[in-house]
Amino acid sequence: MIGRGRKGLSTKLHLALSPYGVQSACLSEGQRVDMKGFSQLWKEGQWENIKYVIADKGYDYFDVRHPIKEAGKTPVIPRRANAAVPGLPDNLKPYYRTRSAIERFFGRVKENKRLALRFDKLANTFFSFFALAAIKSLNLIC
């Protein structure tokens, strides 16, 4: 059976990008829901100049939306399919389209086989190599 008895081998990378660069990043277990990584991203990020917080459906929870709204920001997070009003309001759709930038970023980072296949088992070495791949993909070094 695939997946049984192999705990801890998958990793989720949570990343906050903005036009100003990487705001914050953290790792979590692959089996953990996305919104659990949000509190660490929110705590460590520089959010002063950010007006819209754009995320995918994995972050559609009250515990994610509430701190964003309390900080005076607008959450651009589509509602899950089982929500009373699923989807995203029409006025926020243009902002959500910019989310493709983070998808392209992850695509460039995952060109590194070491990250895509999770060669490094320790979180520190995995995250360090991710930092190098991010610097490379953002063309900060050649």
Angle at 34 between CA 50 and CA 29, to 5 degrees: 125
Give percent of the chain above pLDDT 70.
Answer: 89
Token pair 């899950």 is found at 80
Buried b (16+ CB within 10 A) or exposed e, 18-46: beeebbbbbbbeeeeebbebbeebbeebe
Q: How far apart are CA 8 and CA 14, in angstroms?
A: 16
Q: How far apart are CA 42 and CA 23, in angstroms?
A: 9
Q: Which residues contact 59 (CB under 8 A, 6 or more apart)?
A: 34, 35, 38, 77
Q: How far apart are CA 130 and CA 107, in angstroms?
A: 12
Q: How far apart are CA 102 and CA 98, in angstroms?
A: 8
pLDDT digits (tens, 9 = 90+) for 63-107: 999 999 999 999 999 998 888 888 899 999 999 998 888 888 888
Q: How far apart are CA 37 and CA 62, in angstroms?
A: 14
pLDDT digits (tens, 9 = 90+) for 10-43: 677 888 877 777 778 888 777 767 677 788 888 8
pTM of the model: 0.73
